[in-house]
Chains A and B, each alone.
Chain A
Amino acid sequence: MDETSSEKHILSILVENQPGVLSRVAGLFSGRGFNIESLSVAETTDPLVSRMTLMTLGDMGALEQIKKQLNKLINVLKVIDFAGAGFVQREMILVKVRARPENRAEILRMVDIFRCRIVDVGTNYYTVELTGDEGKIGAFLSLLKPMGIKEIARSGPLALAREKNGGPV
C-alpha cells in the first residue's frame, strides 16, 4: 500500500471500563486532527474491560501515530489493528423505509434475499434490521433508496480477528 494514501482502518481497542475513558479516546482523535468514521463501545466478557471498535481514515503515517497515541493512554490495554490480518466484520443497521402498498411485496422480497428482518410495521413505513459487511449494507440501501428511506441508524462496523484454522502443521 502507498505510504501516503488515505484508507479506512478498523481498530479494536481494549480499554479499562471506567468513566472518562471514551472521552480520552475521543479527545485524542479530535485534539490531534485524526478522523473517527465510526465508533462503538461495549463491555467484554471481563466486566472491567470494554472494547471499542473504531473506524478511522488516514495514511500509514497517521495510522502509526494513532496506534502509538492510543497505546500511550493509561486506560488503554491493547490496540489491535486489523490491517493485513484475517478478521470478520459486521455492521448492523435499522432502516425505516417507505412502504407504499405497491412496494410492500418488493420490500419483503428483498428482506428475504438479503436475509434480514422486518422488526416494526407501521401504516406507512417498515423498519428493517440488517446485519452484514459494508458491501452488503451498501447494496441493500441502494435498492431501498428509490422507495424512500426516512431514517437510518447504523452501529458502525464491529470486528474480531479470525481464529487460526487447524492445528500445528
Chain B
Amino acid sequence: MRELTGAEILLETLKEEGVDTIFGYPGAAVIDIYDRLVKTDIKHVLTRHEQGAVHAADGYARASGKVGVCLVTSGPGATNTVTGIATAYSDSIPIVVLTGQVPRTLIGNDAFQEVDIVGITRPCTKHNYLVMDIADLSRVIKEAFHLAKSGRPGPVLVDLPKDLMSMKGTYDPGRDITLRSYQPTYNPHPKQLAKVVSLIKRAKRPMIMAGGGVVLSKASDELRKFAGKIVAPVTATLMGLGCFPPQDQLWLGMVGMHGTYRANMSTGACDLLIAIGVRFDDRVTGKTDAFASQAKIVHIDIDPTSIRKNVPVTIPVVGDCRLALQVLNDLLEREDLNGALKLRELWLEKIEEWKSTQPLAYEQGEKIKPQYVIETLYRLTGGRAVVATEVGQNQMWAAQYYHVDRPNTFISSGGLGCMGFGLPAAIGAQVARPDSMVVDIAGDGSIQMNIQEMATAVQYKLPIKVVILNNRYLGMVRQWQELFFDRCYACTQMDHAPDFVKLAEAYGAVGLRATKPEEVERVLKEGLALDGPVLMDFQVEPEENVYPMVPAGAPITEMLLV
C-alpha cells in the first residue's frame, strides 16, 4: 500500500498489466498522466490524430495478440476515438481506451472539452467506465483489461476525470478481480461435441468455415489438425484469413461476397457446415434463407449471442474455439473414420473440379492491374509480410491475392469496413512486430483518410511500406454504380489527388511511382528494400472490378464472375 497520485496509480496498474506501449495524443485533461508517463519505461507513440491512435492500438493488438492501449484527452480527443472503438468492437479486438475527462465538479456542466464519452460509446464498447472515486481506479483499470481480453474480446473505455489524476490515493497492487456477473464459458459442453463427432461420421459433404474467433483464440494449429483428421475442405471469412495454410489441398479460399467460386459453391452444396468463431455476417451469408440450405450447421463460438442470430443452427457449441477443437481432436482420435472418409470421395472430386473451373483470375492489359501489384508483392515478400489493408477494392484484392498463411498477419477492418484503418493499424503492427515487414495495401481514397499518420511512421522510424492502388475512384462504390446503377458514377471520382510521391517526401518518407505494368516489380523491389517508411503509388486500371461478386442480398452461390 503506497500513497500515489491518480496518474501514478494508473501507470503502476498499466505496468502490472504488462503494458509496454501506449498510442496517444495529449491534452489538458490528461496532462497529469502524460507528466508521469514520460518518467516510466512505457513507450508512447504520438499519432497525428486520435483516430490514428485507436487504430494503431488496434493494429498492435491484432498483430501481437496482446491488449492495445490508447490514451487521449477529453472532448474532441475522446470523440475522435469513436470510429476506432467501433472498428475494434465489430472485429472483437482487445483494446483499452483511456480518455481524459473534465474535473468531477464540472461534469454535467457543459464544461470546456466535456463530452459524455461513456454515454457516446456505450453501444460500441464491450463495457465502459467513468471513474469517480480514486479508491476504484486500480480495480477499474484491471477490470478493463480483464474484460478486453477475456471471453469474446473487445474494446473497453475508461474515462478519467482530471482532478482524480492529480489527487493522492492509496495503491494496492496485486488485487484479484472478481466480476460476479461476467463468467464467459470457455469449456464447451462435452455432450454437444459428441453430437458433432457423430455428425462428422455421417457427413458426405462436410466443410469447415473458420472466422476471426480462430485467430483470437489462437486455434490455428488445432484447426489444421482437425481439418486433416476429418478431411473436410476449409474456407475462412475475411477475419479468419491466415488461420489455415493456403497451400493445403483442403483450402477453398475466402468465402463471401468476394469469396472464391469454390468456397461459395461449397457452402451451397455441403451437408455439414462446421462454423468456428464466425458470426455469419451478411457479407458472408448472402441471402440467409438460401445459405447452406442443404447443410446441418454446427456453430462453435464463445459468444452465445452469435449463435442463432442470423442463421439456424443444428448443434450450438458455446465455448472457446481452441478448447472446442482440442476436445474434438481428442474425441476423433478414438474414432475409426475410414468409413466416413470413403463417403467423401465424390465431394472432394467435386471441389477439385470447382477449383479448376473458376479460379481467381484477371487479364493483363496496357495499364497496371491492381491484382498484379498484389501478386507481385506476394511473390517478392515470399508471403511473409504482415499485411494491413484499407477498405474497399484494395482490401478484397489483398484478401484474394496475398495468401497469408499465419494468423495475426492479415490486419483488416472486417465488420465495420472502416476506411482509413490501414495506415495507423500498420503503424501499430510494426510497433508490435519490429522485425517483420509490414505492408499497408491501400486505395487512393482510404489512404487519404488518415494520411497524416505518415508523420508518425517517420518520427518513430517505422519502416512500413504503403502500396497505393491508385485508380482515382472510390473503387468499390464505383463498381456498384457500374454494375447496379447504370454506370452513374455519382461522386466517386477522385479527380484531384495529391502527388503521393511528393507527399511522401514532404513527410520525410520515400515516395515511388509506377505507371506501367513493367515498372511494378522494379518499384516494389526498390521500395521493399528501403529501411524507412515508403509510399508507393501504383497508377492502376481505373475501372477494374473485384470478382467474383455476389450482389447484396443474393444467395452466396449466385456470383458475378469475370
Most A Cβ at <10 Å: residue of B119, B147, B304 = B304
Q: A67 CA to B308 CA in the complex, in Å?
A: 13
- Known A-B contacts A23-B119, A23-B122, A24-B122; the reply to A74 vs B304 at CB < 8 A is no
B181: contacting residue among A27, A68, A76, CB under 8 A? A76
Say whether B182 faces chain A, with CB atoms less than 8 Å apart: yes
Q: List A15-72 residues whose CB lies under 8 Å from chain B.
A: 16, 20, 23-24, 27-28, 31, 61, 64-65, 68-69, 71-72
Take A64-B308, A65-B305, A68-B305 as given contacts and tell me if A74 and B123 are in contact as well, using a CB distance cutoff of 8 Å: no
CB distance from A140 to the nearest CB of B (A): 39
Q: How large is the interface on A (under 10, 10 to 19, 20 to 34, 35 or more residues)?
A: 10 to 19
Query: Nearest chain B CB to A53's CB is how many angstroms away?
Result: 18
**Residues of chain A lying within 8 A (CB to CB) of residue B390:** none
Write the nearest CB–CB distance from A165 to chain B, whole angstroms: 31
Residues of A within 8 A of B303 (CB): 72
- Answer yes or no: B19 CB below 8 A from chain A CBs: no
Q: Name which residue of chain B comes closest to A48, CB basis.
A: B180
Which bucket holds chain B's interface residue count?
A: 10 to 19
Q: Is B202 an interface residue (CB 8 A)?
A: no
Do the beta carbons of A61 and B308 come within 8 Å of each other? Answer: yes
Checking A71, A75, A77 against B304 with a beta-carbon cut-off of 8 angstroms, the contacting residue is A71
The distance in angstroms between the C-alpha atoms of A89 and B303, with both chains bound, is 32
Enumerate B152-208 residues with CB–CB distance to A below 8 Å: 179-182
Q: Tell me if B181 and A72 are in contact (CB < 8 A).
A: no
A23 and B118 alpha carbons, distance in the complex (Å): 11
| Nearest opposing residue in chain B for A18, CB measure | B129
Cβ-closest chain A residue relative to B318:
A68
Interface string of B307-321 (1 = CB under 8 A from A): 011000000000000
Complex partner residue of A74 from B130, B179, B305, CB under 8 angstroms: B179
Is residue B127 contacting chain A, with contact meaning CB distance below 8 A? yes
Assuming the contacts A61-B308, A64-B308, asked whether A75 and B123 have C-beta atoms less than 8 A apart, the reply is no
Complex Cα distance, B127 from A131, in Å, reads: 38
With the chains together, A31 CA to B86 CA distance in Å?
Answer: 14
Residues of A within 8 A of B309 (CB): 65
A27 to chain B: which residues have CB within 8 Å?
122-123
Which A residues touch B180, using CB under 8 A? 77
Q: Interface of chain A, helix or strand or loop or mixed?
A: helix
Which chain A residues lie closer than 8 Å to B122 at the CB level?
Answer: 20, 23-24, 27
Name the interface residues of B103-142: CB closer than 8 Å to any CB of A. Answer: 118-119, 122-123, 126-127, 130
In the assembly, what is the distance between CA of A20 and CA of B128, in Å? Answer: 10
The one of A28, A31, A65, A74 in contact with B147, judged by C-beta atoms closer than 8 angstroms, is A74
Give the shortest distance, in Å, between A141 (CB) and chain B (any CB): 37
Tell me the nearest residue of chain A to B308, going by C-beta: A64
Contact B308 A74 (CB under 8 A): no
Name B126's closest neighbour in chain A (CB-CB): A74
Residue pair B118, A20 in contact (C-beta under 8 Å):
yes
Q: Which residues of A contact B179 (CB under 8 A)?
A: 74
Enumerate chain B residues within 8 angstroms of A74, measured Cβ to Cβ: 126-127, 147, 179, 181-182
The residue of chain A having its C-beta at the shortest distance from the C-beta of B118 within the complex is A20
Taken together as a complex, chains A and B put the C-alpha atoms of A74 and B177 apart, in Å, by 14
Contacts of A64 in B (CB 8 A): 308
Q: Which residues of A contact B127 (CB under 8 A)?
A: 74
Shortest C-beta distance, B221 to chain A (Å), equals 29
Assembly CA distance A76 to B122 (angstroms): 14
Closest residue of chain A to B132, judged by CB?
Answer: A19
Closest chain-A Cβ to B183's Cβ sits at a distance in Å of 10
Nearest CB in chain B to that of A69: its residue: B305
In the assembled complex, the Cα of A61 lies from the Cα of B119 at a distance in Å of 29
What's the nearest-Cβ distance from chain B to residue A68, in Å?
4
Shortest CB-to-CB span from A30 to chain B, Å, is 9
Interfacial chain B residues near A71, Cβ < 8 Å: 304
Residues in chain B near residue A75, CB distance under 8 A: 181
Shortest distance from the beta carbon of A48 to any chain B beta carbon, whole Å:
9
**Chain B residues closer than 8 Å to A16, beta-carbon distance:** 181
Residues of B within 8 A of A23 (CB): 119, 122
In the complex, the chain A residue whose C-beta lies closest to that of B119 is: A23
Which chain B residues border A28 with CB–CB below 8 Å?
Answer: 123
Q: Which residues of A contact B181 (CB under 8 A)?
A: 16, 74-77
The answer for the CA separation of A27 and B309 in the assembled complex, in Å, is: 18
What is the interface of chain B, defined by CB distance below 8 A to chain A? Answer: 118-119, 122-123, 126-127, 130, 147, 179-182, 303-305, 308-309
Given A23-B122, A27-B123, A74-B181, 20 more pairs with CB closer than 8 A: A16-B181, A20-B118, A20-B119, A20-B130, A24-B122, A27-B122, A28-B123, A64-B308, A65-B305, A65-B308, A65-B309, A68-B304, A68-B305, A71-B304, A72-B304, A72-B305, A74-B126, A74-B179, A74-B182, A77-B180
- Write 28 A-B pairs (CB below 8 A) sorted by A numbering: A16-B181, A20-B118, A20-B119, A20-B122, A20-B130, A23-B119, A23-B122, A24-B122, A27-B122, A27-B123, A28-B123, A31-B123, A61-B308, A65-B308, A65-B309, A68-B305, A69-B305, A71-B304, A72-B303, A72-B304, A72-B305, A74-B126, A74-B127, A74-B147, A74-B181, A75-B181, A76-B181, A77-B181
A-B pairs with lowest CB-CB distance, top 7 = A68-B305, A74-B127, A77-B181, A68-B304, A31-B123, A74-B182, A69-B305
